[in-house]
Amino acid sequence: MIESFEALEEQINSCTACQLHESATHKVIMKGGKNPKVLFIGEAPGKNEDASGIPFCGRAGKILDDMIEDMDIQQNDWAVINTVKCRPPDNRRPRKGELAACRAFFEKQIDMLDPDVIILLGNTAEEAFLGNRQLQWGECREIDGKNVVKFYHPAALIYTKSRQPEQQEFIEKNSTLW
Ligand code: SF4
């Protein structure tokens, strides 16, 4: 049984449960406070994250940082994780088997971080957390005592700038949650 973040990190770092470990440079585990009010869940590490071992450290990370500032969430009141801890080759979406292989780590992280609010960044995060797609973009639903909201993934906002005002609306609509 995993009792600490250090023990969880050790297990993730030595994991070879799916093929993604073969091409990964670093396992990418989490960033942020260990007792967060808000937990963001992204899809998977990208090139910069794989190189550094830090989630959301590239262009998408800058958008997430700006979003957190805009949401006025204080440092240590937020954390971010991904559905899988190793980068899928060519930044493809994680496959079902890979999500399943990493599920125990994903669930353990959510359990240990125990946030009040979970923000699912995109469809893969929603499928990993809920098992399928249930939420509309920007919708909030109470699930197991937590407020769960679905936002666009920051990377999607890089490529489709027209979604940025919509994301801003989602933030404003749900701002009393955090
Ligand atoms: S993605 Fe998850 S399950 Fe697959 S090797 Fe990496 S840590 Fe293990």
| 12, 14, 19, 20, best to mutate for ligand 1 pocket (most atoms within 8 Å of CB) | 20
Q: How far apart are CA 8 and CA 73, in angstroms?
A: 26
Task: Report pTM.
Answer: 0.96
- Number of domains, the chain: 1
Residue 20 near ligand 1, beta carbon < 6 Å: yes
CATH number at residue 149: 3.40.470.10
Q: How far apart are CA 115 and CA 174, in angstroms?
A: 16
Q: With 70 as the cut, is the pLDDT of residue 2 above it? A: no
Q: Does 101 sit in the ligand 1 pocket, CB within 6 Å?
A: yes
Please report the pLDDT score of residue 1 as a whole number: 65
Backbone angles phi, psi at 156, to 5 degrees: -65, -30
Residue corresponding to tokens 């600490």: 4
Question: Quick one: what percent of the chain has pLDDT higher than 70?
Answer: 99
81 lines ligand 1 (CB under 6 A): no
- Ligand 1 centre and the CA of 156: distance in Å? 24
**Cβ 28 under 6 angstroms from ligand 1:** no
What pLDDT shows up at residue 3? 81
Q: Domain range for residue 143? A: 5-177
Closest CA to 121 of 150, 159, 83: 150
